[in-house]
Structure 1
């Protein structure tokens, strides 16, 4: 399920980042935390896939203007669908029934009723004087008294007090301001001496968590100066001192809201980067990375030889390149900056030819021998492994450092990371990939024109071919794995049946090689959940494409949907009833090698023979044959998907006669996604074929 953070008019970049980073820290891997626009909230069916909607700090009036048409959907999401709303500071004002801000100030006053009304009373502020828009001069370390007896200080800048919150039967005050505030906080009980800072409201089937201060703000980000330059430096010591208490409070209020949090949140720390190991296949004499150093020297303007390593910078990052594990791995590890993985230098270590046996000691989380023994000896793709236990993003690192990418051995690299600190997805969303999610990026080269057919090659098909290769690798992992209910959701996602759907329908999959006709086409949305997504980045060097196929597959992580291993356990329940031996859990090294084997075969067929030789097999895995879609840009006419075009990979859809699911008008549409939609099948752009 998703936790969506609004990012649009009214927000500040800092407020969005603090909210996203804190929520990811506490909620992943149970939820996918990402940003969302008002357009998505208005046009897409986000409610069915979302646990919580978050409005971060910023300004309330732009929220009102930008999201006015979305408010009915938000209210329905909370009160009728049991969703959760979180409003930090400006989001707290926005979620209240009335706002009274800077009353009496002719330049800053904002007073008026609000339509969301999740908190039934008035949000009045600023609670403390001195606030200025787009400035931290009025910020402070606000001390809060939690209703469980804890006390701590957190960042505050312009937030409200929730007037008479204690008097509402559907409101629980989770924290009060300790220091005297500068606005009246009770209109009915003059003896009330406890101004409400954080409230939890029950609204129909759902709940709303509203705050005046910013418990989501992270002191280390403030310390880096990523906010306004006028941030009062003397407050940092107080905020840093209470940071563990701040995290405890965030855990407490998110749990009270009903969200599932990270179990080890108190001891969890974002790990430091580890060196990248560039390892040749010991069984493939053509897989040599030695020329990498020469190409770096040739392609990079300033390469510095510093003791046992080379230092160089490319478009975005700085690198150190070492040769030999025994001589340099400890140095490469110690050089990594622990403060900010995305900004620190990156280290690459190339083992010497006689050091293959040392890999298990320095990278125990990956079995290099199993990977290379499974990889076909004559494979080009994947014959050099660039592995890091902790990486930023297997895809982004290569995509944003074009010079580094152009220096890599051609058509050979598979970049693998056990933990991604800044994984990237469609639309620019980023997240932390925990252990159990297999993150990889295959670097493949492809000619612009087929040497056999002499036809231009359309790279739009590559995302389809990569997903097909992954499906084949999963279902051929061993005897019995063909029963796993994996399918391709167009254009570039890997889906698997939702275990809840499987149990509710009392399905039996053992021995069926997963006959996906067991799931009615009308049930695709509840029946399947995402376990992998593919992101393709394209570069052209000379007369060839260089493509980065980035994929994160949930093999064993417990969230946010399900995992391949969970499904192996389900299949084993059926196998046990039939007295068949249990299937083993997925071995990621073998799976990645099989993915590379299948990808090499499929890509060769595609380049030399064309997509029409592959589509029949692709259709056996995809979800969409005969699926009916509604074309909003053609008068909401309905059409049935029948395949993919052989030129640019668009969906082929035949228009249905009004009121019929079987009769056609004769019109045919070619469909493509609009590129900015939450649910790709709700935002298709159609053109007549």
Structure 2
């Protein structure tokens, strides 16, 4: 499920980054944390795929103005659908019934009622004086006392105290300020009221977690702040209490009903590792060709035992030889900033293949190249890193580097991605167990056989078909795994919860997806992989990046292939069948490359009509009924994909009928919707 962090008018870049990084640290892999705009919240069906909506620090008034049209949807999401709302500082003001800020100051005062009303009282601030907009000059280390017994100093800059919070029926105060605020925090006659810093409000079926201070702010990020007004003396205090800050965040998120990372104590987001660029054994020419092309394209210069060059975004270093270069290449990587750090690449010597076992224990190159067809060009060079930024983004944003790679050969693989990339610019940290890969393929603009222009929109379909083939043929019995393609480019698998609720049996059936009614596609299926295609043109050829993150063994946030292997194995025990092996990512990736080369060859030489029947056997949508809102909510039945541009074909149904057609056919395409592709289809009559 999604955790959506609002990023629009009112936010500050620093607040968004602190919020996203802290939530990813504690909530992933159980949730996918990404940023979202007010436009998305207004136009897309985000509520059904979201657990938490977060408003970070910034300024409350722009939130009120920008988000006024979506207030009803937010309130409905919390109170009726059981969602969660988190508001840090400005988000805490925004989520209260009334704001009283800098009362009496003609330049700063903001006073007025608010529409969300999750906290039924007044958010009054600044709790401590000295605040200045767009500056850290008034920042303080507020001392908090948390209900779980933790006491620590927390970054504070202009946030509220929640007035009389201890007296509200629907409010639990999770943390109090340990200092007396500079504004009244109790308007009633109860002298025992303490100044509330963090409150958890019960709102219908949902919860709202609101804070005055910033427990989400990370001292390490603050230390790199470019604000010249930042009071440096705060850092030592905040760094000293950082473990308690994380403990507080874990506590308040857990109290709000969120599943947090169990190993957060001592957990650190891993640092980048060198990339190993490994050709199949016996191919000793690829590395030399790569270096020659780098020098030509980038003006790379030699610096001791490595080449150095910069491209559009990143700086790279290329080394020869694992034994003599690995430690130096690793030492040049900045452990604190993966985005700006130099990216180091090592080309193993021909006699160093066995050294890969010790330097890259997470990837079995022997298994990969043993499975890869000896005739394969696609995937014949693996660029592997144990920890990478993003297998897709690294290649996509550094065009000069991409154009220097051996053509139609690279498979970039990472065990962990620190900045995985999805549709709509969403990013996340990929944990272990999610196989992140990007295949680089080259296609001509015109087919040399059919002499027709290549419709590259079909590549996403070909890649998903190749992955389905690789999974269902991974070993005898894998044909029973219930994997299916959700148009256009997501891989879905049957939800274990649905399987158990319906008491299904799949062994020996080669998974007949007709056991699931079309009306049950949601929630019967959950996402297990997504494909992102980026396209470049070099030398009158398409260069396409097929980025995919496939959940092989990670337990969250939906399910995994290995979980389904265990389920099928439970079925296989009863008739005494041999258990299926767990998925081997190296074999799976090599089979994916084999099948990708095969389906692309068929597509290029014979056309898409020779591929689509098999694609349809894996997809979810034959005879699915969709509603076309821009055509008067008319209903249409999906029948296939057009052979020119890969649009969805849907035949209009007569009003009130599920099987009689009007004779009108629509060609459908997605409108960029990142949450539910079928809620925002753009249709045109054929």
TM-score normalised by the chain length of structure 2: 0.98
| Cα distance in 1 for residues equivalent to 2:513 and 2:427 | 32
Report if aligned partners of 1:443, 1:547 keep a CA contact under 8 Å in 2: yes
Q: Which residue number in structure 2 is paired with residue 188 of structure 1?
A: 188
Q: What root-mean-square deviation, in Å, do the aligned CA atoms of Structure 1 and Structure 2 show?
A: 1.3
Report the Cα offset of residue 676 of structure 1.
Answer: 4.0
Moved more, 107-116 or 366-375: 107-116
| Cα distance in 2 for residues equivalent to 1:87 and 1:454 | 57
Q: Does 1:605 align with 2:598?
A: no
Q: Which residue number in structure 2 is paired with residue 89 of structure 1?
A: 89
Q: Which residue number in structure 1 is paired with residue 293 of structure 2?
A: 295
Q: Which residue number in structure 1 is paired with residue 563 of structure 2?
A: 566
Report the Cα offset of residue 620 of structure 1.
Answer: 0.5
Report if aligned partners of 1:96, 1:114 keep a CA contact under 8 Å in 2: yes
Report if aligned partners of 1:281, 1:287 keep a CA contact under 8 Å in 2: no
Q: Which residue number in structure 1 is paired with residue 275 of structure 2?
A: 276
Q: Does 1:237 align with 2:236?
A: yes
Q: Does 1:15 align with 2:15?
A: yes
Report if aligned partners of 2:250, 2:260 keep a CA contact under 8 Å in 1: yes
Moved more, 570-579 or 107-116: 107-116
| Cα distance in 1 for residues equivalent to 2:568 and 2:43 | 38
| Cα distance in 2 for residues equivalent to 1:206 and 1:647 | 47
Report the Cα offset of residue 81 of structure 1.
Answer: 2.1
Name the count of aligned residue pairs: 686
* DSSP 3-state at the match of 1:311: strand
> Aligned match of 2:551 in 546, 551, 554?
554
Q: Which residue number in structure 1 is paired with residue 31 of structure 2?
A: 31
Q: Which residue number in structure 2 is paired with residue 349 of structure 1?
A: 346
Report the Cα offset of residue 630 of structure 1.
Answer: 1.2
| Cα distance in 1 for residues equivalent to 2:389 and 2:178 | 40
Q: Which residue number in structure 2 is paired with residue 63 of structure 1?
A: 63
Q: Which residue number in structure 2 is paired with residue 468 of structure 1?
A: 465
Q: Which residue number in structure 2 is paired with residue 669 of structure 1?
A: 666
Report the Cα offset of residue 287 of structure 1.
Answer: 7.0
Q: Which residue number in structure 2 is paired with residue 215 of structure 1?
A: 215
Which residues of structure 1 form unaligned runs of 5+? none
What whole-Å deviation, never above 9, does each CA across 1:226-267 have from its counterpart, x for those lacking one? 5x4422222222112211111111001111111111111111
Query: Would the alpha carbon gap of residues 325 and 677 (structure 1) be closer, same or farther in structure 2, given more than 3 Å must change?
Result: closer
Q: Does 1:618 align with 2:615?
A: yes
| Cα distance in 1 for residues equivalent to 2:556 and 2:618 | 24
Report if aligned partners of 1:480, 1:583 keep a CA contact under 8 Å in 2: yes
* DSSP 3-state at the match of 1:667: strand
What whole-Å deviation, never above 9, does each CA across 1:124-174 have from its counterpart, x for those lacking one? 111111222222222111111112222111111111000000111221111
Runs of 4+ in 1 over 4 A off after TM superposition: none
Q: Does 1:48 align with 2:48?
A: yes
Report if aligned partners of 1:287, 1:412 keep a CA contact under 8 Å in 2: no
Describe how 1:507-586 pairs up with structure 2 within 5 A: 507-586=504-583
Report if aligned partners of 1:186, 1:192 keep a CA contact under 8 Å in 2: no
Report if aligned partners of 2:147, 2:175 keep a CA contact under 8 Å in 1: yes
Q: Which residue number in structure 2 is paired with residue 177 of structure 1?
A: 177
Describe how 1:154-169 pairs up with structure 2 within 5 A: 154-169=154-169
| Cα distance in 2 for residues equivalent to 1:181 and 1:357 | 64
Report if aligned partners of 2:460, 2:533 keep a CA contact under 8 Å in 1: yes
| Cα distance in 1 for residues equivalent to 2:601 and 2:126 | 65
| Cα distance in 2 for residues equivalent to 1:313 and 1:74 | 45
* DSSP 3-state at the match of 2:67: helix
Report the Cα offset of residue 498 of structure 1.
Answer: 0.8
| Cα distance in 2 for residues equivalent to 1:178 and 1:540 | 61
Report if aligned partners of 2:29, 2:431 keep a CA contact under 8 Å in 1: yes
Moved more, 252-261 or 173-182: 173-182
* DSSP 3-state at the match of 1:155: strand
Report the Cα offset of residue 665 of structure 1.
Answer: 1.4
Q: Which residue number in structure 2 is paired with residue 121 of structure 1?
A: 121
Report if aligned partners of 1:465, 1:599 keep a CA contact under 8 Å in 2: yes
Report the Cα offset of residue 190 of structure 1.
Answer: 5.4
Report the Cα offset of residue 540 of structure 1.
Answer: 0.5
Q: Which residue number in structure 1 is paired with residue 419 of structure 2?
A: 422
| Cα distance in 1 for residues equivalent to 2:209 and 2:200 | 5
Q: Does 1:482 align with 2:479?
A: yes
| Cα distance in 2 for residues equivalent to 1:621 and 1:546 | 27
Report the Cα offset of residue 106 of structure 1.
Answer: 2.1
Report the Cα offset of residue 604 of structure 1.
Answer: 0.8
* DSSP 3-state at the match of 1:289: helix
Report if aligned partners of 2:44, 2:673 keep a CA contact under 8 Å in 1: no
Q: Which residue number in structure 1 is paired with residue 445 of structure 2?
A: 448
| Cα distance in 2 for residues equivalent to 1:229 and 1:608 | 62
Moved more, 614-623 or 628-637: 628-637
| Cα distance in 2 for residues equivalent to 1:10 and 1:639 | 41
